[in-house]
Structure 1
Amino acid sequence: MKTKLLIIHSSDELYGSDRILLQVVQALRDTYRITVWLPVDHQDGKHQLYRMLQERAVEVQHMDMPILRRALLTPKGLVRMARLAPQVARKLRSSGADQVYLMTSACLLLAPLARLAGRKKTTLHIQEPWGPREAMLLRQLAKFTQQRIAISQTVARSTGFAADQLSVVHNAVPRLDPANPPKPLELDADCARGPRYLVASRWVRHKGHGTLLKAWSMAGCPGTLYVLGSAPDSANRIDVRGMVAEFVSDTASVKIIGQVANPQDWFDSVDALVLPTDTVEGCGLVALEAFRHGKAAIVSDSGGPAEVVDNGVDGWIFTAGDVPELARIFDRCTASSLAAMGEAGLRKYEEKYTPERFDENMRAEMPGALLGS
C-alpha cells in the first residue's frame, strides 16, 4: 500500500508557489496517496488551485488552519491562531497521514502541531527567502521538520541551516501544450520601434517597475515594452500607469496590457522577458518561462533569477535597482542578439528545468533517509 502524504499549502490561487504544488503532486502521486489541505483565509474567491487539483483527481479540501501571515501578527490574529491549534492537531491526528508536506514557510506553525499529533515525518518546501529577523522564528519552527527542500541556493542560504540539513531542488515550468500552442499576437505595428520586451508580475513595490521604467527612458525607449499583471488589494500596490506618465519620456513605447487570459501568447510574441525585482526573488519563474519559449531573460541579481541566467549567454543580469546599468543593457540589445540568447535559453530549459527533470529530482529526494530520523 502506498504511503499517505498530506500536503498542506498556504493559498488557493494560481501564482508561483501554487503552481509548484501542482508540480510536486505530479512528481509524487505515483509513489504516495496524496491529500491536499488548502486554507480558507487566503484565496481570491476563484478557487483556481482547488479546481485544478480536482481536475487531476487529487483529494483536496479547505481547512481553517493557523497560517503565518504578516496581517495576522497582531494580538487578535495570534489569539485566533492559538485557538485553531488544538482542533488542527486533532485533524492531523485523525488524517491517517504517514507523512506531512508543508509547501511554504507560511505553513510552519503546523510543524510542531504535526509532531504533537504523532506525525513523525514532516517535509518543508522552502519557496521564499527568509529575512534575518523572521529567520529566527522560522528556523526554530523548521527544527520540527525532518526534511527541508529549498528552491534555490539563495533560499537555502537565507535559512541559516547548514548545507547537509537541507537540499536544493530547482523549480520547473510545464512544457508548452502541443494541443494548445501559444498563438502569435499581431504586434507588427510595434516592431519598427526595436526589440519587444515583456514584464509580467504583480504590481507591487519590490518588483522593480520603477527601476525598469526609469532605465527604459534613460535608454531612449529603445523598442516596445509590454506590461502584464495587476495591482493586488494591499498597501504594497503601485500605480503602474502613473509611473509610466511620471518616468517615461515616450509613453507610447510602453503598452499597459494588464491581466490576460493566456500570458503564454505574450511570452511567445516578444523578444525578451524582464524581471527587474529590487529586493530578493527565491526563484523567478519568469526567467524559466522565458527559456521555455526560447526567449532571452533580463533579470536583476535578486537571488534565484541570477542562478538561472548565464550573463551574456542566455540573458543579462544587472545590479538590482541600478537604473544606468539596466539602461546600458537595453542599449546593446538587438532583436537578433536576443534571438540567439533565446536559443541558448531553450537549450538550458531542456537540460535543467523541464517537469521530467523536476520529477526525477523530487523522487530522488523523498524516499531517502529523512534528516533526524
Structure 2
Amino acid sequence: MSGNRPKLLLIHSSDELYGSDRILVQVVDALREDFEILVWLPTDRQDGKRRLYHMLRDQQVAVEHVDMPILRRALLNPRGLGRMLRLAPRMLKLIKAAHADQVYLMTSACLLLAPLARLAGVAKATVHIQEPWGRGESLILRRLARFTQQRIAISRMVAQSTGFAEQEVCVVNNAVARLNPANPPRKLQLERDAGERPSYVVASRWVEHKGHETLLRAWEQAECPGFLYVLGSAPEGPHGVDISALVSRHVSKPETVKIIGQVDNPQDWFESVDAMILPTDTVEGCGLVPIEGFRHGKAAIVSDSGGPGEVVNHGKDGWIFATRDVSALAQILRSNTKDDLSALGAEGQRKYEEKYTPERFKETMRETMSGVLSGR
C-alpha cells in the first residue's frame, strides 16, 4: 500500500483502444489520486500493438499482462471451459499475492474473477457493466455478479438488462476527454465540390450489426445528399463486412462515399464534418460516438439502439431513428441542411459540458468508490 491509499486491482478483458479500453483509462484517471492502482490485461485478446498497455505505461500506471480466465463466447465450449477452470488455482494465488483492498472488473467478461477474489479474501469487488446482457447469459452473469458489492452500468438500458433491482446498480455516464488545446484537431480540406451539402462521418468497427448497410441504403434513398466518410476497419475472422462491396451494391453515386479506414487521429475528422452517424442495427450499451460528436459541437444521428438514445435529445441536439428503418434515416438525411446541423451541434456541445466531461466523470466515480470502501 502506498501511504494511506488503498490498493485497487483493476482487471480488464482486452489490450486495444476501443470503447471499453478508453473507459478504463478514464477510470484510472478518476481514481489514481485515491488508490494505488495495478492494472491486469489479458494475454489472449490483443491486436498485436498492445496500445492500451503502452498508453498506461506512458501515464506511469502499473500494468501487467496475465493469462486470465475471461468469459468469451468463443470459449463457451468444453475445451474453453476446461482451460478456464485450469487457470483458476493460479489466478487465486496471483490475486492473493497482489494484496489488493479492492478488485475492479472493467467488463462483464471478467466476472469469473469475482468469486476468485472472494476466495482470495479481497474485501470489496466492483464490476463495471459496459454491455447489455442477453437473456440467456444474464442468468450466469447475474450469479457471478452477486460476488461483487458494487455494480456500475454505463447506461439505464444496460442496468435494466442485468435483471438487478434499480437500487442494486449505479448508473455512471461515460465521459469523453477534452480536446487538447496544445494539440487541437485539424480541420481537414474535404471535398472541394461539396458546396452547401452536409458532410457526415461514421466511425466504428466494420461488422454487420453496426448498421453500415442500413446507412448506405438510406444514403441512396436520400439521393446521396452530401458526402459520407467511413472510418474504421474490419476485424480479423468471419464477422467483418466489406464496405466497398456494400457501396457498390447500394449506392448509385459511389463518389459521395469516401472509405477512409483506420486513422491515427479521428478527431480531425470529427472536427471537419457536420454530423456524426451511429446506425447500429442491434444494441449499443453507450453513446460514446454522439458524445464525441457533441465535444466537437457536431450533431448526432443515431439509431434507437439503447445507450445512444439516452444521450441524444431528438430534434434538439440530433436525431433518433428506429433501428434498421432505412426510410426514417433517409428522411433525416434528406431534410437537414448544414445550418440545421450546426444549430443541433451547438446544443450538443452545451450538453457535453453539462454531463460528459472528465471532471464530471471523476467526481461521480470518486464518490461511488468512496461509498463502496466505506461500506455505504
What band does the TM-score fall into relative to the shorter chain?
A: over 0.9
1:159-178 superposed matches below 5 A: 159-178=162-181
1:226-245 superposed matches below 5 A: 226-245=229-248
8 A Cα contact 2:124 2:372, kept in partner: no
Between Structure 1 and Structure 2, how many residues are aligned? 373
Structure 2 residue aligned with 1:307, among 307, 310, 313?
310
Question: CA offsets per residue over residues 207-254 of structure 1, 9 Å max, x none?
Answer: 000100000000000000010011000221111110000011111111
Which residue in the other structure is 1:112 paired with? 115
Which residue in the other structure is 2:96 paired with? 93
Q: Secondary structure at the match of 2:10?
A: strand
Question: Given the alignment of the two structures, is residue 251 of structure 1 paired with residue 254 of structure 2, yes or no?
Answer: yes
Gaps of 5+ in 1: none
Structure 2 residue aligned with 1:130, among 130, 133, 138?
133
RMSD of the TM alignment (CA)?
Answer: 1.2
Amino acid at match of 1:107: C
Structure 2 residue aligned with 1:355, among 347, 355, 358?
358
Which residue in the other structure is 2:152 paired with? 149
Which residue in the other structure is 2:213 paired with? 210
Shift of 1:156: 0.2
Shift of 1:73: 1.1
Which residue in the other structure is 2:74 paired with? 71
Shift of 1:282: 0.4
8 A Cα contact 2:287 2:310, kept in partner: no
Which residue in the other structure is 1:21 paired with? 24
Distance in structure 2 (CA, Å) of the matches to 1:339 and 1:367? 40
8 A Cα contact 1:147 1:371, kept in partner: no
Structure 1 residue aligned with 2:226, among 216, 223, 226?
223
8 A Cα contact 2:112 2:144, kept in partner: yes
8 A Cα contact 1:190 1:224, kept in partner: no
Distance in structure 2 (CA, Å) of the matches to 1:226 and 1:131? 32
Q: Secondary structure at the match of 1:255?
A: strand
Which residue in the other structure is 1:42 paired with? 45
8 A Cα contact 1:171 1:353, kept in partner: yes
8 A Cα contact 1:226 1:255, kept in partner: yes
Distance in structure 2 (CA, Å) of the matches to 1:300 and 1:369? 35
Which residue in the other structure is 2:344 paired with? 341
Structure 1 residue aligned with 2:276, among 273, 280, 284?
273
8 A Cα contact 2:274 2:342, kept in partner: yes
The 1:299/1:190 distance shift into structure 2, 3 A limit, reads farther
Amino acid at match of 1:258: G
Distance in structure 1 (CA, Å) of the matches to 2:374 and 2:309? 29
Distance in structure 2 (CA, Å) of the matches to 1:228 and 1:371? 44
8 A Cα contact 1:146 1:370, kept in partner: no
8 A Cα contact 1:314 1:344, kept in partner: yes
**Identity value in percent:** 65
Which residue in the other structure is 2:14 paired with? 11
Distance in structure 1 (CA, Å) of the matches to 2:124 and 2:269? 42
Shift of 1:203: 0.2
Tell me the TM-score normalized by structure 1.
0.98
Shift of 1:166: 1.1
Distance in structure 1 (CA, Å) of the matches to 2:169 and 2:138? 15
Gaps of 5+ in 2: none
Shift of 1:188: 4.4
Structure 2 residue aligned with 1:198, among 193, 196, 201?
201
Amino acid at match of 2:120: A
Amino acid at match of 2:332: I
Distance in structure 1 (CA, Å) of the matches to 2:366 and 2:123? 20
Distance in structure 1 (CA, Å) of the matches to 2:31 and 2:375? 22
Distance in structure 2 (CA, Å) of the matches to 1:237 and 1:144? 36
Shift of 1:120: 2.4
